[in-house]
């Protein structure tokens, strides 16, 4: 066991492995109650979440839809709503899977905001992008896409007096695999502490299609590398990451990559520095 596995797992509040169907259902119920508590405490009646077609957003959305339905069924108000938001950049190559996710979730409302024009307009006005290599420009605009998607979600949330849901979980948090003030900006993160395999287990128990449960994860932010798998960016597999976080043996090479990436991305998991 790597010397820092326990420390990092504790810092990320990693969830213990599930012991069977009952423990999975208990975790679903706990996280649904958490979402409901967030709404009650905020006084808001709407939840907003971008749907990419991946397992993370599908799982978070299924929890959110269950949460608002539970509040309505309990007589706490007919005005509780869940809004799923499609946020393509021009034409999304896996649009059929995003639509499959929406059909599975059956949200109260589904909005579409194409961020293509906004991102391109911003890029055209940004002098700092001039002279950059195609690879650097593509990387920078990938983060801009993530931030523009969050701007769109908060615009909808502000218009509907709602909260924005994030999809970060322990396996992404440890790798800093999110855009600062992009998909890392939100009001609540109902998947916190779960490793990737556990997100898949919750998705399956919630009725997500196998096609989405076992879909190869991709942030899909770079035009030069469309559909680039997360694991190609990580340099380790999600199985390695999950094993590391849950205290199981991993290779020295994998442990070194995970620990070094965790340390290097510490600023992304912290509040802004203050004097």
Closest CA to 117 of 138, 83, 97, 87: 87
Classify strands 109-112 and 46-50 as parallel, antiparallel or unpaired: unpaired
151 close to 157: Cβ distance less than 8 angstroms: no
Q: What is the pTM of this model?
A: 0.95
Q: How far apart are CA 262 and CA 51, in angstroms?
A: 27
Q: How far apart are CA 57 and CA 217, in angstroms?
A: 11
Closest CA to 163 of 71, 45, 271: 45
Q: How far apart are CA 165 and CA 81, in angstroms?
A: 13
Closest CA to 214 of 88, 93, 97: 97
pLDDT confidence of residue 226: 83
Q: How far apart are CA 226 and CA 68, in angstroms?
A: 35
Closest CA to 201 of 59, 40, 43: 59
- Of the listed 27, 56, 220, 230, which one is catalytic? 56
50 close to 57: Cβ distance less than 8 angstroms: yes
Q: Is 219 exposed, middle or buried (0-12, 13-18, 19+ CB in 10 A)?
A: buried
Domain residue extents for the chain = 14-217
Q: Which residues of the chain have pLDDT under 50?
A: none
- Of the listed 27, 168, 172, 243, which one is catalytic? 172
Q: Is 247 exposed, middle or buried (0-12, 13-18, 19+ CB in 10 A)?
A: middle
pLDDT confidence of residue 17: 97
pLDDT confidence of residue 1: 63
- Is 56 designated active site? yes
14-217 topology per CATH:
Rossmann fold (3.40.50)
Q: Which long-range contacts (CB under 8 A, 24 or more apart) does 77-80 make?
A: 77/45, 79/45, 80/39, 80/45, 80/46
Dump strand ranges (E) for the chain: 46-50, 81-86, 109-112, 162-164
pLDDT confidence of residue 220: 84
């Amino acid at each position: 066991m790597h010397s820092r596995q326990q420390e990092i797992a504790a810092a990320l509040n990693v969830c213990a492995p599930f012991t069977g169907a009952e423990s999975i259902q208990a975790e679903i119920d706990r996280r649904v109650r958490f979402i409901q508590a967030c709404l009650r405490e905020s006084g808001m009646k709407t939840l907003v979440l971008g749907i990419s077609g991946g397992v993370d957003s599908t799982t978070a959305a299924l929890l959110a839809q269950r949460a608002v339905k539970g509040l309505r069924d309990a007589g706490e108000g007919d005005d509780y709503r869940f809004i799923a938001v499609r946020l393509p950049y021009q034409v999304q190559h896996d649009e059929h899977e995003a639509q499959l996710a929406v059909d599975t979730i059956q949200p109260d409302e589904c909005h579409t905001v194409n961020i293509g024009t906004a991102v391109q307009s911003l890029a055209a006005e940004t002098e700092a992008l001039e002279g950059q290599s195609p690879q650097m420009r593509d990387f920078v605009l990938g983060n801009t896409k993530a931030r523009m998607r969050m701007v769109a979600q908060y615009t909808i949330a502000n218009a509907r007096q709602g909260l924005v849901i994030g999809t970060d979980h322990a396996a992404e948090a440890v790798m800093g695999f999110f855009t600062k003030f992009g998909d890392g900006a939100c009001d609540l993160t109902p998947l916190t502490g779960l490793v990737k395999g556990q997100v898949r287990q919750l998705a399956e128990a919630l009725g997500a299609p196998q096609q989405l449960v076992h879909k190869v994860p991709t942030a899909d932010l770079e035009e030069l590398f469309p559909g680039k798998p997360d694991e190609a960016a990580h340099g380790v597999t999600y199985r390695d990451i999950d094993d590391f976080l849950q205290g199981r043996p991993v290779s020295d090479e994998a442990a070194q990559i995970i620990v070094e990436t965790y340390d290097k991305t510490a600023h992304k998991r912290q509040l802004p520095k203050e004097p």
